[in-house]
């Protein structure tokens, strides 16, 4: 997705390296668009931290909390200093989904990609070759 970062700067929040954006199991009221830097999505197990993905500029994350109102399934933290994010609350999200079909399709595409990735990794674990 292409974003006009000049217009969005007034809505941007800057995070420092390793700064937590949200934690697994917390309830969320916003999704985020990465304008600069990067974000690590991860889970913490009893033994260690499991990295799921890195979100880069132009990508978004946290949308599941707006779709299903369930607790966050993972944690997110900035991986670079000056990571710039724009938060999109539920009202803005619903407006964008209802008025911008390309936004709705981008969200669906992202969710499908994540489901496929999880399905493929689960089948590798269940059926090792």
Q: What is the pLDDT of residue 46?
A: 84
Indicate the pTM of the whole model.
0.81
- pLDDT tens, 20-79? 999 999 999 999 999 999 999 999 988 888 888 999 999 999 999 998 989 999 999 999
- pLDDT tens, 82-96? 999 999 999 999 999
CB count within 10 Å of CB 126 equals 7
Give the neighbor-by-neighbor strand order of the sheet with 30-36.
Answer: 12-15, 83-89, 30-36, 60-61
């Amino acid at each position: 997705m292409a974003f006009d970062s000049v217009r969005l700067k007034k809505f941007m929040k800057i995070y420092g390296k390793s700064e937590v954006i949200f934690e697994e199991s917390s309830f969320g009221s916003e999704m985020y668009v990465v304008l600069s830097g990067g974000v690590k999505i991860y889970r913490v197990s009893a033994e260690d931290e499991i990295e799921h993905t890195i979100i880069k500029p132009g990508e978004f994350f946290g949308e599941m909390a707006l779709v299903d109102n369930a607790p966050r399934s993972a944690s997110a933290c900035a991986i670079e200093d000056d990571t710039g994010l724009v938060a999109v609350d539920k009202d803005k999200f619903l407006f964008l989904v209802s008025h911008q079909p390309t936004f709705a399709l981008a969200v669906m595409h992202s969710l499908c990609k994540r489901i496929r990735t999880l399905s493929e990794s689960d089948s590798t674990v269940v059926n090792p070759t």
